[in-house]
Amino acid sequence: MRFDIVTLFPEIFSGYLSQSLLAKAIDRGLVQVHIHDLRKWSTDLKHHKIDDRPYGGGPGMLICVEPVVNCVEAIQAMDPTPGVVVLTTPQGDRLNQRRVEQLSQINRMILLCGRYEGFDQRVIDILNPMELSIGDYVLNGGEVASMVIVDSTVRMIPGVLGDEQSSLDDSFSRGNRILEFPQYTRPPEFRGCAVPEILLSGDHAKIAKWREQQSVEKTMLRRSDLLRNPAED
Judge whether 191 counts as a catalytic residue.
no
**Distance set, CA 221 to CA 89, 188, 226, 232 (Å):** 31, 27, 11, 19
Region of 58 on the Ramachandran plot (φ > 0 left; ψ -120 to 50 alpha; else beta): left
Of the listed pieces 25-33, 65-73, 126-134, 202-210, which binds ligand 6GU according to CB under 6 A? 126-134
Q: Which of 45, 77, 138, 231 binds ligand 6GU (CB under 6 A)?
A: 138
State the pairing for strand pair 108-113/84-94. parallel
Q: Which of 64, 142, 156, 219 binds ligand 6GU (CB under 6 A)?
A: 142
- Residue 145 or 154: the one with the smaller Cβ distance to ligand 6GU is 145
- Residue 149 or 161: the one with the smaller Cβ distance to ligand 6GU is 149
Give dist(CA 21, CA 161) in Å, integer: 7
Burial of 228 (0-12, 13-18, 19+ CB in 10 A): exposed
Residues 41-100 contacting ligand 6GU, CB under 6 A: 88-90
Judge whether 117 counts as a catalytic residue.
yes
> In angstroms, what is the minimal distance from the CB of 84 to ligand 6GU?
15
> In angstroms, what is the minimal distance from the CB of 189 to ligand 6GU?
42
Give dist(CA 44, CA 49) in Å, integer: 6
Within its chain, how far is the Cα of 221 from the centroid?
A: 27
Residues found near ligand 6GU in the complex (CB under 6 A): 88-90, 114, 132-135, 137-139, 141-142, 145
